[in-house]
Amino acid sequence: MRQRFGERLEVHSAGVEPSRVHPLTLRVLREAGIDAAGQRSKHVKELEGIRFDLVVTLCDSAAQTCPVFPGTTRLVHRDYRNPEEATGTEEERLAVFREVRDQLARELPRLIEEELGLTPPDEQPGVARRPRPAGGR
């Protein structure tokens, strides 16, 4: 979302049970032109004190255990398959990671537009999208 919305949207990512950024996550993000090297898995408690206009939980367990963010005007839940639970060959597991990546890439911009009224710069008439530096926010 950082790459799609640029400076129009401040994006944070965290989980209720952080561990590591899965190597297949890094791989499918790289395939999509997103350099996530150097990113780390964070706990939602690290985000305490930040005021959010929108919090989106991406799985049922997160929706049930996500802390309350004071001042948050919207809390939206979407249930996506956890690609880390995929089984099979590496190629089969990779297909699940790609599927979830593509679902998020399609659905989250629409959700952000519906909830916040923002559209990515490349979807606004007459607005050119600036390339983001690797590893940038």
Write the CATH number for 49.
3.40.50.2300
Torsion angles phi and psi, residue 55, rounded to 5 = -120, 130
Q: Is residue 137 part of a domain?
A: no
Q: Which of 17, 7, 1, 10 is nearest to 82 (CA)?
A: 17
Question: What domain range includes position 29?
Answer: 2-117
Domain-located, residue 136: no
Which pLDDT value is given to residue 33?
Answer: 92
Q: Tell me the pTM.
A: 0.77
Q: Give the model's pLDDT for residue 127.
A: 42
Is residue 91 included in any domain, yes or no? Answer: yes
Amino acid at 59: C
Residue 86 lies inside a defined structural domain of this protein: yes
pLDDT, averaged in runs of 10, over the chain (137 residues):
81 87 94 90 89 86 72 82 94 97 93 88 52 39
H-assigned helices in 35-134: 60-65, 90-116
The whole-angstrom separation of Cα 37 and Cα 83 is 19
Q: What is the Cα–Cα distance from 122 to 132, expressed in whole angstroms?
A: 13
